[in-house]
Copies of this chain bind each other. A is one copy, B any other.
């Protein structure tokens, strides 16, 4: 089972609305190499794990559980980027006219200016993305490649917009994807692979990415929490020097300190939540005193 912790993985500064950046970020949410995919792939690999080498199961499970929170983080970020696209229409202007040119018109027409389980060209997420061969070495190689690809795409996203809300999440995921690259690289090291200088991918220079640099100072690129309430064998694999030669990795129990989850305002132009006076009264009758 799983429980929710009422905190967001990262803090999101408010910036101007940018529906094109919101749409680009959908790739990181519902794209083939986005967070829904890592979440579901690792959950299935965890549920379907075979054999006694439980330390690998625990390792996969810890990343799987973290990824659910990344789906939350990236959805919330998309919502903040969409917020305000249409609400300040001048008096004579049609409120939803910007939707016709938006990155994804579905953000305004199907959803109420909010995140969707689709990629940046509107393809819905597909279960066919999930890879789980059951062969441990192969699943680990795939996961390493998956994290590298995810980080590659986020490094490309970084260069698409400097919107602060967008950058906060993109940078956070660049750092966490790097940590996850290490998790799977270490797991393969424990089975005998020596990566030489090939990793990480991409060879991005974080000294030119100040937001990333800031998070690295907190050592977020070398840590992995268990995201569990119980003892885990994650630390048996995830310890010692980073396979990329950038410090010491460390396994930590539980989860990191989080941040308040933003509350989205009503969007009357979208009929969301769409309660009229009568319904609002009934809803408020239930509110805590």
Contact = CB atoms under 8 A, between A and B. Distances in A.
Contacts of A36: 40, 127
B4 A40 contact: no
Interface string A154-181: 0111011110000000000000000000
Interface in A117-144: 117-128, 130, 132-138, 141-142, 144
A266 B50 contact: yes
A207 interface: no
Given A20-B101, A75-B47, A9 B3 contact: no
Nearest to A130: B117
B279 A135 contact: no
Nearest to A139: B273
Interface residues of A, number: 146
Most buried by B among A66, A111, A194, A273: A273
Contacts of A71: 43, 47
A209 interface: no
Contacts of A30: 127
- How many monomers of this chain does the complex have? 6
Given A1-B7, A75-B44, A138-B145, A24 B118 contact: no
Nearest to A160: B96
B1 A100 contact: no
Contact of A271 (B145, B203, B254): B203
A16 to B, nearest CB: 14
A198 B192 CA distance: 6
Interface string A27-70: 10011110010001001100111111111100001001110110
A167 to B, nearest CB: 11
A79 to B, nearest CB: 6
Contact of A126 (B68, B113, B120, B127): B127
B112 A160 contact: no
Contacts of A153: 109-110
Most buried by B among A48, A65, A142, A287: A48
Interface of A: 1-9, 20-21, 23-24, 27, 30-33, 36, 40, 43-44, 47-56, 61, 64-66, 68-69, 71-72, 75-76, 79, 94-97, 99-101, 103-106, 108-128, 130, 132-138, 141-142, 144-145, 148-149, 152-153, 155-157, 159-162, 188, 190-199, 201-204, 227-230, 233, 236-237, 254-255, 258, 263-267, 269-276, 278-280, 282-288
